[in-house]
Homo-oligomer: A and B are copies of this chain.
Amino acid sequence: MKPIYVGLCGVGTVGGGTATVLKRNAEEIARRAGRPIVVKMAANRDLDRAREVCGSDVTIVDDAFAVVNNPDIDIVVELIGGTTIAKDIVLKAIENGKHVVTANKKLIAEYGNEIFARAQEKGVIVAFEAAVAGGIPIIKALREGLTANKIEWVAGIINGTSNFILTEMRDKGLAFADVLAEAQRLGYAEADPTFDIEGHDAAHKLTIMSAIAFGIPVQFDKAYLEGISKLDATDIKYAMELGYRIKLLGVTRRRENGIELRVAPTLIPQKRLIANVDGVMNAVLVKGDAVGATLYYGPGAGAEPTASSVIADLVDITRLHTADPEHRVPHLAFQPTQLADLPILPVDEIETCYYLRLNAQDQAGVLADVTRILADGGISVDAMLQKTAGEAGRTDIIIVTHLAIEKNVNAALAKIEALPTINGKVVKLRLEHLG
């Protein structure tokens, strides 16, 4: 049986893992796919590294377009990253009638609509399991495993760096900056960690899952992002006292009038399995109307876990590229003519529970004023905790609300902050029960 020939564009961490696993498990993979899957050509700036990783049977070049234009290549694997050359490579591969596998979450979240439209015209598959949650086959679960369901929401811990930092802050009671420095030393955080800690990376992944869950185009520009760099260790401690953990959580939820799409530090009840996903691990919890809640857990990054997803896509294409292109698994789970135009809701319109921390003068009437403002704003209180703060005559008040609309909470907080008995800004975090 003729092998499937793969052209690798980019032989960095994931590209190296892909070449290594394809070689190591060649027999196992061929037994599953029905034919060998072989890297025939690889493009990399560092030719020596590519030669070392891929071995002497593979043609090594420094120009990715040479791979894409090689008529012997059946599937192009794009592992260059970014949205400039990577986008050109993917579009050219499609134009040349080649199937594409990519791990590029930014590319799919920002240019997926254009890429999938071109792929559909050409009858080729663009697969991207590795773009979300590394080795966890969550795209497959959402796109194929849960097709019976109206998906209600998806919630995910989908950035390992942030989860590592939050886990260390909680376990060791350290401040954000100290843990970040440690994470950088250990190689879990980049020298410039912005992309991870401010939620961009998680929002790219969430955008893709949202499109697949609800049958809407990818709309990364409408996602709301809030990172963990301003998170105070005090709130992690108070959250624990109340029975919650704080995670950088991506949440996308179907509401009647639109879709919520947001990444933010979020309280989750400690009793939920997902609240106990620690360190660099990832997990995604999906709520469907028929199945209820299902959870998918595993390593969200790393050479071989990500390669695991890249190769699963290669096997999928090998097995299924002969299916009628008009009806096989659609890129975004829903047939391209059947996408919905439900809008992404602005953050003001989201509905969730809230954790509020106020610093107040320790005197009679403060609580009455605060709870009156909340009640007037239609915000009902689920739990309250009053703590003696460090400074004399001041106290921390922690309030957990029931479901409320964000703009109503913001309006109430403006009034609370204007009270003479309240010191400074109120800390506001979102809280999800995920029940």
Taking CB atoms, residues of chain B closer than 8 Å to A335 are 31-32, 34
Contact B150 A315 (CB under 8 A): no
Q: Which residues of the partner chain B approach A309 to less than 8 Å between Cβ atoms?
A: 145, 148, 291
B297, A295: Cβ atoms under 8 Å? yes
Q: What's the minimum C-beta distance from A102 to chain B, rounded to whole angstroms?
A: 16
Q: A299 and B305: CB pair below 8 A?
A: no
- Closest B residue to A139 by CB, please name it: B145
Contact B135 A144 (CB under 8 A): no
Let me know if B135 and A291 touch, CB within 8 A.
Answer: yes
Considering only residues 5-30 of chain A, those with a C-beta below 8 Å from chain B are 17, 21-22, 24-25, 28-30
A326 vs B318: C-alpha distance when bound (angstroms): 12
Among the listed B30, B31, B146, B276, which residue makes an inter-chain contact with A137, where contact means beta carbons less than 8 Å apart? B146
Contacts of A292 in B (CB 8 A): 135, 298-299, 304-305
A49 interfacial by beta-carbon distance below 8 Å = no
A148–B34 touching, CB < 8 Å: no
The answer to whether A334 and B31 have CB atoms under 8 Å apart is yes
Specify which of B32, B146, B293, B299 is in contact with A333 (CB 8 Å cutoff). B32
State which of B22, B315, B316, B322 has its C-beta within 8 Å of the C-beta of A324. Answer: B322
Contact with B along A313-328 (1 / 0, CB 8 A): 0011011111110111
Q: A147 near B315 (CB under 8 angstroms)?
A: yes
Interface of A, secondary structure class, is mixed
- Is A388 at the interface (CB under 8 A from chain B)? no
Q: Which residue from chain B places its CB closest to the CB of A305 in the assembled complex?
A: B291
Residues on B with C-beta less than 8 A from A304 are 289-292
Please encode chain A, from 134 to 171, with 1 for each CB lying within 8 Å of some chain B CB and 0 for all others.
01110011001111111000000000000000000000
CA A293 – CA B22 in complex, angstroms? 19
Q: Which of B290, B323, B333 contacts A323 (CB 8 A)?
A: B323
Number of chain A residues whose Cβ lies closer than 8 Å to a Cβ of chain B: 68
Q: Complex: how many Å from CA A312 to CA B295?
A: 17
Q: Are A293 and B289 in contact (CB under 8 A)?
A: no
Per the bound structure, the CA–CA distance linking A312 and B141 in Å amounts to 10
Asked if B327 and A319 make an inter-chain contact with CB atoms under 8 angstroms apart, the answer reads yes
Asked if A307 is at the interface (CB within 8 A of a chain B CB), the reply is yes
A311 at the interface (CB under 8 A from B): yes
A14 to B56, CA, bound (A): 55
Cα of A289 to Cα of B308 in the assembled complex, Å: 9
Asked if A294 CB lies within 8 Å of chain B CBs, one says yes
Complex interface residues of chain A between 337 and 373 (CB less than 8 A to chain B): 338
- Determine which residue in A309, A310, A320 has the highest number of CB atoms from chain B within 10 A of its CB, and name it: A320
Considering the chains assembled together, what is the distance between the CA atoms of A305 and B289 in angstroms?
9
From the candidates B17, B293, B316, B328, name the one contacting A319 in the complex (CB within 8 A): B328
**Cα separation A135 to B293 with both chains bound (whole Å):** 9
With A34-B327, A137-B144 given, is the CB distance from A297 to B320 under 8 Å? no
B148–A315 touching, CB < 8 Å? yes
- Judge whether A123 is part of the interface by a CB distance below 8 angstroms: no
Give Cα A338 to B129, complex, Å: 26
What is the distance, in angstroms, from A56's C-beta to the closest C-beta of chain B?
A: 23
Beyond the given pairs A146-B308, A149-B308, 6 more chain A to chain B contacts, judged by CB atoms under 8 angstroms and listed by A's residue number, are A22-B148, A34-B330, A140-B140, A291-B309, A292-B298, A293-B299
Query: Which 5 residue pairs spanning A and B have beta carbons closest together?
Result: A137-B145, A148-B311, A294-B298, A323-B323, A135-B291
